Structure 1
Amino acid sequence: MKKNLLMWDETLFRDPEVFEIDYVPEQFNFREVQMRELAFQIRPGLRGGRPLNTICRGLPGTGKTTSVRKLFEEIEETTKKLVPVLINCQIDNTKFAIFSQIYRKLSGHLPPSSGTSFKQVFDAVARMLQKEETVLLVALDDANYLFYENEINRVLYTLLRSHEAYPGTRIGVIVIISDLDVDLTATVDARVSSVFRPTEIYFPPYGEDEVRDILHERVLQGLYPGCLSEEMFSLVVTQTQKSGDLRVGIDLLKRAALNAEKQARRNIEKEDICKAYDVSRYLHLGFSVRSLKDEEKALLRALAELAAREGEMNAGEVFRTIKDRIGVGYTRFYEMVKKLDAMRLIDLEYREGKGRTRVISLRYEPAKILEYLS
């Protein structure tokens, strides 16, 4: 019995880094076609020209961001003349924040946090590109976070028309979108679409065999042999397929191993996996809630409390019920509702009746939303 228990200084993890969300695997399978298409779009930038603009579209956990990261690593190993910058739009979702990250990439530090205007940051970025004669390639990851308050048009317009203010600057854009309902080309205005003209690359969901192979590779790299039986591994694959998101499976492996370690076991058992899945399947919810502003959290909390009693909700009635509580006007209320919809936290549906009615429903159980908000 004793030999099956972990000692205090023992672990099931050969390499815990393998199970981190931002880990870029050495072996990256099943996205060769998409990687070739992306490389073709980027190629002009390697010759000093402007990279072709691209939209990477697919459900969450289909390899979009990892594909871009892999190519950006290759670019940085190959040349200094094409500078790739990956922006996490969940975190940096304003024009100033995005250009501050570009400035940091080019200069090695962020611009001063106070007393600096956007124009100063933009001018500094453009001058650095001119001076070094470098090409800039910007990837906007989770760009649906920029649809809120029309930020996507402001960001794309500034990036793609920079050469008008600073001749010779060359900037290409990769837009990564995880919401299949979003039509970016229809969303941007005419002054942006005239210079954007992107090629769309679709990332289909991984099939069961592909999920199995990818997770198996992570297990081989990240866990010691023998701690995860074939039966338990199949359960992880099944739970991953149920969620529809490969990232859930990777997080599930990490949490299941931690659960087993907590019980000082050398093997991951079914209870470890089931307990881990109760947390891992809400991965997107947790990330999204953390990125919300206080008034957006207040609105989501109010929606969850109303949905617990009513289910679907009429947008107008919701506003009348909570306007005093959250202290915003209808325009601001509706902007926040559209943002929550773009973030896949709620569904905003239009229905014909007495006029055109907007109906709000939650994508997660109200109790779970309230739990993550607290």
Structure 2
Amino acid sequence: MTHSALLRHDETLFRDPEVFEFTFVPEQVHYRDAQVRELASLLRPALRGGSAENAVLRGPPGTGKTTTVRRIFAEVAEVTHRVVPIRVNCQHDRTALAVFRCIFEQIFGYAPPSRHLDGIKQAIAARLRDEDARLVVCLDDANYLIPAGTYNTLLYQILRLYEKWDVRKPGVVAVASDLSLNLYAEADERVRSVFHPTEVFFPPYGKAEVRGILADRVRQGLYPGVVPKSLLDRIAGIAAGEQDVRVGIDLVRLAVLRAEGDGRRQVTAADVTAAARAVVAPVLRARAAGLSESERALLSRIAEQSLAGSDMTGGAVFEEVKDYLPVGRTAYHEHLKRLAEAGIVDLVPGTGRGRGREIRLRYDPAEVAAACAGQEDLRILPAARNFDR
């Protein structure tokens, strides 16, 4: 039976739309075998009746940290009730009360009736004692706790829960996407006495890895033939350039929605282009928003220099901006490093003798300038589908 080129009103291109949500947990975490093994080994003592080892998961956004935790925690929950794995989103829950309420709700399946922290802890401890269970808490995006002033307090209260409430020693998995932060160094002396984490690093995915992940999502979530291979290659290239696989997942979702909205059975290049404008711009704004004022000022000047077609070697840019920005050469290079870590510029070694690094924007310079100029109005943005996670 042949299909019409157009969709009927009751037809869809999605076999399973949940596959393209960021909360989706794939059956297999691709290209993260080493990280999965490392985290599993740290949890293994708890499965054998001991206590889980602590861990810090570090890596740029969109490198599989949260997905790995979700997958391993789901497997642990399936095989035993003696380990209670809890993931807390610290973007949303940053106070001790909010975090322990989240732990309570995941253990009991309903919100705690008490709003008193000690009462909530006591109920959690009673359940853990009754089941002789070990608590393992993932503080996802733990870097958000530092400016909130609750990072050390929460680590201390979770890790020393056993002292007051007579439960097995809990374990903590702290996750951070800010590579400039050392979560162990941020811990104070009283926390370091019980927090000795193993660091597990998540490097950015390469283009082939991004394509493999996206191909698996397309296979699970769409009907055959919806996204041509050439366009999947293009989407993978965009996502790899952003060093964030979630950009690719959202690009596929939005491009398919656009095709479906037009009643077409296949995504076109125009769909991908429109989706890229919708996805990449919020990512750039979110990354620019995460910079300091002086870093953003330098980025704005770099965008202006790029638009003007000026020499973009590091030394030449410094000579152009030093009269406008109150930074010395050392601070300038630190700012450049931060812009590179934020995924906004690439610092490419020069090819000629004596030439320093060339500064290359990874976005259209006009869009970079607009993102810098508009930050005062864009500080309170919708989560841009949570791209900063």
Q: Identify the TM-score tier after normalising by the shorter chain.
A: 0.7 to 0.9
Cα offset for 1:166?
2.3
Aligned to 2:116: 117
Cα offset for 1:149?
3.2
- Does 2:13 align with 1:12? yes
Aligned runs of 1:229-268 on 2, under 5 Å?
229-268=228-267
Cα offset for 1:230?
1.9
Aligned runs of 1:310-321 on 2, under 5 Å?
311=300
- Does 2:98 align with 1:97? yes
Letter in 2 for 1:146: L
Letter in 1 for 2:200: I
Letter in 2 for 1:174: V
Cα offset for 1:287?
8.4
CA contact (8 A) 2:94 2:148 kept: no
Aligned to 2:84: 83
Letter in 2 for 1:19: F
Cα offset for 1:131?
2.8
Query: In structure 2, do the counterparts of structure 1 residues 246 and 171 end up closer, same or farther at CA, with 3 Å as the change threshold?
Result: same
Unaligned runs of 5+ in 1: 290-299, 313-348
Cα offset for 1:48?
2.1
Cα offset for 1:57?
0.8
- Does 2:112 align with 1:132? no
Separation of aligned partners in 1, 2:180 and 2:115: 37
CA contact (8 A) 1:56 1:202 kept: yes
CA contact (8 A) 1:126 1:169 kept: no
Aligned runs of 1:249-288 on 2, under 5 Å?
249-282=248-281
Match of 1:83, SS state, is: strand
What's the TM-score once normalised by structure 1's chain length?
0.77
What's the TM-score once normalised by structure 2's chain length?
0.74
Separation of aligned partners in 1, 2:214 and 2:33: 18
CA contact (8 A) 2:125 2:166 kept: no
Separation of aligned partners in 2, 1:83 and 1:14: 33
Query: In structure 2, do the counterparts of structure 1 residues 368 and 249 end up closer, same or farther at CA, with 3 Å as the change threshold?
Result: farther
CA contact (8 A) 2:161 2:167 kept: no
Separation of aligned partners in 2, 1:350 and 1:136: 49
Match of 2:194, SS state, is: helix
Aligned to 1:31: 32
Aligned to 1:328: none
Aligned to 2:188: 189
Cα offset for 1:116?
2.2
Separation of aligned partners in 2, 1:265 and 1:368: 36
CA contact (8 A) 1:53 1:173 kept: yes
Bigger RCO (CA 8 Å, 6+ sep): 1
Cα offset for 1:284?
5.2
Aligned to 2:317: none
Aligned to 1:340: none
Query: In structure 2, do the counterparts of structure 1 residues 188 and 168 end up closer, same or farther at CA, with 3 Å as the change threshold?
Result: same
CA contact (8 A) 1:59 1:180 kept: yes
Separation of aligned partners in 2, 1:283 and 1:170: 42
Q: How many residues are treated as equivalent by the alignment?
A: 320
CA contact (8 A) 2:81 2:131 kept: no
Cα offset for 1:41?
0.2
Aligned to 1:161: 160
Query: In structure 2, do the counterparts of structure 1 residues 350 and 132 end up closer, same or farther at CA, with 3 Å as the change threshold?
Result: farther
Letter in 2 for 1:190: E
Letter in 1 for 2:189: A
Query: In structure 2, do the counterparts of structure 1 residues 225 and 367 end up closer, same or farther at CA, with 3 Å as the change threshold?
Result: farther
Letter in 2 for 1:46: L
Cα offset for 1:263?
1.6
Offset from partner CA, 1:186-241 (integer Å, 9 cap, x none)? 11101001100000011111111111111111111111112221221111111111
CA contact (8 A) 2:90 2:145 kept: yes
Identity percentage of aligned residues: 41
Separation of aligned partners in 1, 2:281 and 2:187: 31
Letter in 2 for 1:269: T
Separation of aligned partners in 2, 1:22 and 1:201: 22
Structure 1 stretch 135-144 or stretch 216-225: which is displaced more? 216-225
Separation of aligned partners in 1, 2:151 and 2:51: 20
Aligned to 2:148: 149
Separation of aligned partners in 1, 2:326 and 2:36: 37
Match of 1:25, SS state, is: coil
Aligned to 1:62: 63
Match of 1:4, SS state, is: coil
Cα offset for 1:108?
2.2
Cα offset for 1:242?
1.7
Over the aligned positions, Cα root-mean-square deviation in angstroms equals 3.2
